[in-house]
Amino acid sequence: MDLPVVDFSSWTTSQDGASQRRVAQQLVEACQQVGFVRIINHSLPETTLDNAFDCMKRLFALPEEEKMKAPHPEGWAVHRGYSWPGLEKVTQVKSSAEYEEVRNGLRKVPDVKEVYDIGSDDCAAQPNQWLPNSSLPGFRAFMTKFYWECDRVGREILQALALGLNLEDIDYLTRKHGGHDNQLRLLHYLAVPAEDLESERVSRCAAHTDWSSITMLFQDDCGGLEVEDISHPGTFRPASPVRNSIIVNVGDLLQRWSNDRLRSTNHRVGLPELSDRFKGPNRMTRERYSIPYFMSPDDDSVIECIPSCMSEEEPAKYEPITRANYNKMRAAMMY
């Protein structure tokens, strides 16, 4: 799938207001029409991204007993630390009653991935589960720095979105995003026989939308991300990896904020795109590594319609809700 591409260099380096407004308008247009956009020439250094992937690969190469020194806490209330294959099941179900009806069926098709989730060390509600430094020297220090570098880039994108939505104050969104409720997710999709994915005995990541305001995705060259074609609902198209680009997508909260002007689009992770990404008689898939970074508003932020996105002819569609209450509703469905 050819995602819309936005060259972000004018936003970060130009003092020309007209050039910045063009970037903002392109960004909003992509988020309206597709809900996904590929950003190139952003301000996150290439070396930083390379180091993040190297660090993540070293993490997942550790023996299981080492990774289990920072386990994901039981239940859904704390979304941090190491989740072993089969623990998490991504779902688009949004109510407890609905979930109970489909729970058994969902769990029969496990997600074959392992995850390590990181947040701000100043987020008391979601305490980090760090590995001992002896298990992976330098991991905590690097990932803490990387977390805040991603936050910096995400804030630039939120400012551009605010301008593109015709808000007079480009910090309307960033003021509601203190950075302490974001989530850095390290993902390792295991090598499995392609037939297991094709026959749906296992899945990598089922179709879903994100809970966040925006998600920034960094991925390796393996591929597998698929985005729903909104002109053909139920049909998913590959979103090919492009080195050093950021794939940005609208989350559910920004869709609510924008009164459905911006689109939170279903996406999933399936088979790698090309046949040469399978190996051997069992057509084993390649491992896949990716890093989504979820920009989320502060827990007590009220998500209510952005002033420029409503009018007498187009009133607000959603009741206000705090970010904390929305997340509780969604997280309880996953574990």
| Bridge pairing between strands 225-228 and 183-189 | unpaired
Q: Per-residue confidence at 108, pLDDT binned at 50, 70, 90?
A: low
Q: What is the DSSP string of 95-155?
A: SHHHHHHHHHHHHTS-B-EEEEEE--TT-TTS---PPPTTTSTTHHHHHHHHHHHHHHHHH
Question: Using CA atoms, how far apart are residues 100 and 226, in angstroms rounded to an integer?
Answer: 27
| Residue 296, pLDDT above cutoff 90 | yes
The tens digit of pLDDT for each residue in 195-235 reads 888 777 787 888 899 989 999 999 999 888 999 998 999 99
| Residue 27, pLDDT above cutoff 90 | yes
| Bridge pairing between strands 278-279 and 284-285 | antiparallel
CA-to-CA dists, residue 63 to 79, 81, 285, 289, angstroms: 22, 15, 21, 18
Exposed, middle or buried, 335 (CB in 10 Å: 0-12/13-18/19+)? middle
Look-up of token digits 């409503």: 310
Q: Of the given ranges (78-82, 130-134, 182-186, 277-281), which has the lowest mean pLDDT?
A: 277-281
Q: What percent of the chain has pLDDT over 90?
A: 67
Return the higher-pLDDT residue of 141 and 93: 141
The tens digit of pLDDT for each residue in 114-152 reads 999 999 999 999 999 999 999 999 999 999 999 999 999
Mean pLDDT of 164-170: 94
| Residue 328, pLDDT above cutoff 80 | no
The tens digit of pLDDT for each residue in 244-273 reads 999 999 999 999 999 999 999 999 998 877
Look-up of token digits 């808000």: 167
Question: Using CA atoms, how far apart are residues 126 and 77, in angstroms rounded to an integer?
Answer: 8
Exposed, middle or buried, 65 (CB in 10 Å: 0-12/13-18/19+)? exposed
Cβ(128)–Cβ(186) below 8 Å: no
Q: Per-residue confidence at 2, pLDDT binned at 50, 70, 90?
A: confident
Question: Using CA atoms, how far apart are residues 214 and 160, in angstroms rounded to an integer?
Answer: 12
Which pLDDT belongs to residue 130? 98
What's the predicted TM-score (pTM) here?
0.90
Mean pLDDT of 306-333: 86
- DSSP 3-state assignment of 31? helix
Cβ(209)–Cβ(92) below 8 Å: yes
Mean pLDDT of 292-299: 95
Which pLDDT belongs to residue 334? 58
Which pLDDT belongs to residue 275? 61
User: Comparing C-alpha atoms, which of 50, 1, 39, 46 is closest to residue 240?
Assistant: 1
The tens digit of pLDDT for each residue in 38-65 reads 999 999 999 999 999 999 999 999 999 9
Computed over every residue of the chain, the mean pLDDT equals: 89
Q: What is the DSSP string of 207-256?
A: EE--SSSEEEEEE-SS--EEEE-TTSTT-EEE----TT-EEEEE-HHHHH
Cβ(154)–Cβ(293) below 8 Å: yes
**Tokens in use for 208?**
């879903």
**Tokens in use for 85?**
């294959």
Q: At 126, phi and psi to the nearest 5?
A: -130, 70
| Residue 181, pLDDT above cutoff 50 | yes
Return the higher-pLDDT residue of 175 and 285: 175
